[in-house]
Amino acid sequence: MADYNPILVFVISIFILQFLSKTMDSRTNGEIEDNPNPEVSESKLKNVESVGEKDTLGECKKSASTNDMLFRADEIDLKCLDVHLEKHLSRAWSRNVEPNRPKEPWEIDLAKLEIRNLIARGAYGTVYRGTYDGQDVAVKLLDWGEDDMATTNELAALRASFQQEVAVWQKLDHPNVTSFIGASMGTSNLKIPAKNSSDDPTELPSKACCVVVEFLRGGTLKGLLYRNRKKKLPYKIVIQLALDLARGLSYLHSKKIVHRDVKAENMLLDSNRKLKIADFGVARVEAQNPKDMTGETGTLGYMAPEVLEGKPYNRKCDVYSFGVCLWETYCCDLPYPFLSFAEVSSAVVRHNLRPEIPRCCPSSLANVMRRCWDANPDKRPEMPEVVKLLEAIDTTKGGGMIPEDQVAAAGCFCFGPVRGP
């Protein structure tokens, strides 16, 4: 019994005593004279179930003896009762405390939010399309799991991650950064559409949180590159996309914000193909002491050597990732698609592995790539300098990646077989 909450044990004891009392009263009144071996009925179990939902005792019903209608203490599933009691107490706490919590300036009115359909699932949440107060929006829900499936520490970590993302995003205002609209710390009365239209909407866990941002119709940069993996992108478009990303990162760094997960999948496009940086789930304010920022944060293939090694890092890790994104945008290809995590980590750190630049790439652009992914963070340029380097590139004479059907005729070194995203 040392493993269980003493208050819970006391409450269960009271329930059992109440049940025994009612059982003895029923025997005294002769209610079971005609049935010496009665079954435990739903009506009698309601005396125990009155503390919560009808299925609260679930498996615990099995512990009722059919001979004397008594509960055997050694057969009661205390863990089952502990979970459900905590669930009901949590809901009661949310109802009683949450309304009294001061509302944050960024908190939205959930009554104005309507979720329509699923867009994507990621490591840090699920994204839906919807409307808020008549405006098209994207709604990112943090994946908390079902009620009571996460421990207290896990929930605390998730909420801290959510608050960090909101704290970063709400202060940003730049044409190359996705616009933040609002967020909610609790979505208990928010429903998401079911997979089948005939099903009822799915109710979210009461502890879930969501971030609402502008909806961009152009999809992700990754999707654009995949669609153009054979014919490639014109050089002018490559530079335009690179400039959008460089300007957005330059703005973030000016605000002391390190994105830490710069990749094509986290870049969104509007209907005019303007690129905007999104997903600040792992972004954070840059530490004054570089030693305060360590750990493998990011996505394989885009992670700087110092990040892969778990060494202290700063905003220059974003510059490295930008260099890889620049190569990816030019080539419409993925870096290291056939290597495992261990192989990439080892080769990038120990053997200075980098994506191979095609010979048809103009030297001005190739130079930006090489400088950005230099192994020494101190030798990488700051993003404002990268913006100037890209602005100076002449795109009037072309210079983009040669389409695959023209590679043989042009004699340009490219990449052989087509590779997927």
Q: What does the pLDDT read at residue 401?
A: 87
| pTM across the whole model | 0.68
207 C-beta neighbours (distance < 10 Å), count: 21
CB–CB of 110/187 below 8 Å?
yes
125 with 141: CB under 8 angstroms? yes
pLDDT for res 342: 87
Task: Say what the pLDDT of residue 6 is.
Answer: 60
- Cβ atoms of residues 161 and 281 within 8 Å: yes
Q: What is the pLDDT of residue 181?
A: 92
Write down the pLDDT at residue 214: 93
Instruction: Per residue of the chain (421 residues), give pLDDT as tens.
Output: 455 566 666 666 666 666 666 555 555 555 444 444 444 444 443 444 444 444 444 444 444 444 455 556 556 666 566 555 555 554 544 444 445 556 777 888 888 888 888 887 765 568 889 999 889 999 888 755 544 556 777 777 767 777 777 877 888 999 999 999 998 876 555 656 555 544 555 555 555 678 899 999 999 999 999 999 999 999 999 999 999 999 999 999 999 988 888 999 999 999 999 999 987 655 444 444 444 344 545 577 899 999 998 888 899 999 999 999 999 999 999 999 888 888 988 999 999 999 999 999 999 999 999 999 999 999 999 999 999 999 999 999 888 888 876 765 554 445 444 332 2
For 194-233, the pLDDT digits (tens) are 555 445 555 555 556 788 999 999 999 999 999 999 999 9
Strand, helix or coil for residue 237: helix
The tokens for 283 are 């972004």
Q: Could you count the other beta carbons within 10 Å of the beta carbon of residue 327? A: 24
In this prediction, residue 70 carries a pLDDT of 59
Alpha-carbon distance 326 to 332, whole Å? 10
Question: What is the sign, positive or negative, of the torsion defined by CA atoms of 255, 259, 264, 267?
Answer: negative
Given a contact cutoff of 8 angstroms between Cβ atoms, the answer to whether 307 and 297 are in contact is yes
pLDDT, tens digit (0-9, with 9 covering 90-100), for 346-355: 999 999 999 9
pLDDT score of 253 = 94
Q: How far apart are CA 124 and CA 266, in angstroms?
A: 12
Token readout for 362 is 């103009």
**Catalytic-role residue among 244, 261, 318, 333:** 261
Residue 169 and residue 125: Cα distance in Å, rounded? 16
Alpha helix (H) residue ranges in 258-381: 305-308, 316-331, 341-350, 363-372
The set of long-range contacts for 76-81, using a CB threshold of 8 Å and a minimum separation of 24, is 76/12, 76/16, 78/4, 78/8, 78/9, 78/12, 79/4, 81/8, 81/12, 81/56, 81/57
Structure tokens at 54: 């009808």
Provide the β-strand partners of residue 363. none
- Closest by alpha carbon to 302, among 268, 331, 266, 255? 266
Coil vs helix vs strand at 276 = strand
Is there a catalytic annotation at residue 74?
no
| List of domains in the chain | 6-100 (no CATH), 110-214 (3.30.200.20), 221-410 (1.10.510.10)
* 3-state SS assignment for residue 257: strand
Nearest CA to 277 out of 197, 360, 179, 348 is that of: 179
pLDDT at 94: 46
pLDDT of residue 274: 97
